[in-house]
Amino acid sequence: MTIRNRISGQFTLIVASILIGFSLLIYLVSATYRREEFYERLKSKARTTVRFLVEVNEVDQDLLRIIDRNTLTAMIDEKVLILDDNNKLVYSSVDDYPVRYKPDLLDAVRREREIETTNGDNELVGILYEANGKRLVVLASAYDRFGQSKLENLYLTLVWGLLGGIGLTIGLGFFFAGQSLQPIGHINRQVQTITARNLRQRLDEGPRQDEIDQLAVNFNAVLQRLEQAFEQQRSFVSHASHELRTPLAALKSEIQLGLRRPLSAERHTEILQNLLSDTDRLIALSNSLLLLARTLENLEAVTMTSVRLDDVFFAAQEELLTAHPRYAVSFQYDQVPETETDMVALGNESLLVRVVLNLLDNACKYAADQRASVRIGKNAQQVWLSVTDAGIGLSTDEQKHIFEPFYRAPGAIKFGGFGIGLAVCQRIMEPHRGRISVESEPGIGSTFTMLLPRS
Ligand code: ADP
């Protein structure tokens, strides 16, 4: 079912329910009013007749019958019967009327003094009249032709009005739903033309006022992010293949060199050593790429716990010094922790160790003295760990790019590395709602600071 049909269907259902409700109410109120009014007329007729008969001596039954039939207010099929306590007919407004009523009707009148009921199509009232020691039951019945025909008229008017109203509601609902949904159709047609190849395309955002314009704005924002992600992916693949090609090309030329004969034993050893170091580089690169892929894989679903930043540091330091025994790392607190929970952040310990290890490794790698000094501190909202070195440093321009995958500052080329570590670190910061800031000066050194919200 299309949204257009659903909206117009629901709209019609609501309006039809309201119309039907109102019509029913009007009809029922009118019908009740007619009935009550007619019963009142019957009662007053019954009272007048019995009073005439009992209280006015000059009036005999025949005269009363003549008066009854000729009053202006006479009703259709009007009958008045008066019965005494022994259920004997004392007066009947019609001569040839076969008196038909249920005996328990008379008992009911005597019991309740006044009843309102129906007799076939006619309305009937019964009243108990007591005066001068007499107890008479007066039954008056008549057919309310005028009231019934007015009610019938009202019924037809309401039915036709209802049908017309519902028909009009369906038409208008369908028309206006179509009008309101037109921009969605427009967006739909535009979206259909967007493929992975033309992610640059954007939707018309209109005057940005209603929900549909907002949808287009949000969709465009998603497209923008998708385009960026695609772009990153593309540049990652091209960088990775470039990085792989260089050592592979070196390997190939070393092998070709080794195949040339005759070669001295020393030359052979030298070639094999080059082969070994190029292979090592390839292995290191594949490891870095694998690490990048694994880290980025389920980054959004990592489990977070309360993690002490000093524990993170000690774990990273141990791993670093095992791999590079010549590196040296000094450590101090900005403020000595007063409680166990002082330097605690909410995070994933093994990912945070990876970040600190990378910062320590870079600091020692890019500094001639292979030393890094670490400080840990906190304020009301954050805990931080900063790694300072007296290494090659970075210009302001270089600092802007160091978190891009595969970027390496020109001064770093002579050191080992692939430009992947900091990109991974920055991605790890995202689920932690933390960040890495850098202060650096070429030739003087750098300070990389990891900031995390306190747990
Ligand atoms: P890698 O160190 O393997 O090249 P990273 O992603 O860790 O990759 O770092 C990216 C770049 O940032 C490095 O190539 C280097 O140019 C620069 N860099 C990172 N840390 C430092 C540092 N402590 N001192 C100077 N430059 C650094």
Q: What is the pLDDT of residue 336?
A: 80
Are β-strands 114-119 and 122-131 bridged in parallel, bridged antiparallel, or unpaired? antiparallel
Q: Which of 220, 216, 222 is nearest to 183 (CA)?
A: 216
Q: What CA–CA distance (Å, rounded) separates 247 from 274?
A: 11
H or E element that contains 448: strand 445-453
* Ligand 1: residue whose CA is nearest its atom 4: 419
| Structure-token pair, residue 306 | 């309360």
Q: What is the pLDDT of residue 71?
A: 66
Q: How confident is the model at residue 74 (pLDDT cuts 50, 70, 90)?
A: low
Residue 2 phi/psi, 5-degree rounding, is -75, 160
How far away, in angstroms, is 408 Cα from ligand 1 center?
A: 6
Residues with Cβ within 8 Å of residue 54, at least 6 apart in sequence: 129, 131, 132, 134, 136
* Ligand 1: residue whose CA is nearest its atom 12: 402
Q: What CA–CA distance (Å, rounded) separates 424 from 351?
A: 10
Q: How confident is the model at residue 438 (pLDDT cuts 50, 70, 90)?
A: very high
Atom of ligand 1 nearest to the CA of 389: 23
Q: How confident is the model at residue 208 (pLDDT cuts 50, 70, 90)?
A: low
Q: What is the pLDDT of residue 120?
A: 84
Q: In this structure, what DSSP letter does residue 71 have?
A: S
Q: In this structure, what DSSP letter does residue 312 have?
A: H
Q: What CA–CA distance (Å, rounded) separates 123 from 32?
A: 13
Q: How confident is the model at residue 383 (pLDDT cuts 50, 70, 90)?
A: very high
Q: In this structure, what DSSP letter does residue 454 have?
A: B
Instruction: Find tokens 């992975």 and name the residue.
Output: 196
Atom of ligand 1 nearest to the CA of 288: 3
Ligand 1, from 289, 402, 444, 446: best to mutate by most atoms within 8 Å of Cβ? 402
The DSSP annotation for 419-443 comes to S-HHHHHHHHHHHHT-EEEEEEETT
Q: What is the pLDDT of residues 87-142, one digit of tens each?
A: 888 888 876 555 566 778 888 999 999 999 988 888 999 999 988 778 899 999 99
Question: What is the average pLDDT score of the chain?
Answer: 88
How far away, in angstroms, is 370 Cα from ligand 1 center?
A: 14
Q: How far is CA 269 from CA 217, 274, 334, in A?
A: 64, 9, 52
Instruction: Find tokens 């609902």 and name the residue.
Output: 173
Q: Is 312 exposed, middle or buried (0-12, 13-18, 19+ CB in 10 A)?
A: buried
